Amino acid sequence: MKTSTKITADMTINEVLKISKQAAGVLMGFGMHCFGCPMARSETIAEATAAHGADLELMLEKLNETVGDNACGGCCRKGC
């Protein structure tokens, strides 16, 4: 059984991207496209959602769906 890290509002965007490769797609879905910008290193998920007018709880829910045993990036189309 795999253990996973829970993504929280106080994590930086950079930390989240290190935890889950699929998180980038979730962030883009909320209008956050600048992963390489300097803010990604220090801006928290809570700060980013406030700056972009996004729903924090919904974003955390979607981000946490990308980690753990049920996460699948769709790379092999098997739904792993």
Question: Token pair for residue 76?
Answer: 């092999």
Locate tokens 């290193």: which residue? 41
Give the pLDDT score at 9: 97
Give the pLDDT score at 40: 81
Per-position pLDDT tens, the chain of length 80: 445 689 999 999 999 999 998 999 999 999 888 777 787 889 999 999 999 999 999 999 999 999 875 555 545 444 44
Residues forming a β-bridge with 12: 44
Give the pLDDT score at 1: 42
Distance between CA atoms of residues 52 and 16, nearest Å:
17
CA angle 2, 46, 35 (to 5 degrees): 75
Per-position DSSP letters for 37-65, written without gaps between them: STHHHH-BHHHHHHHHT--HHHHHHHHHT
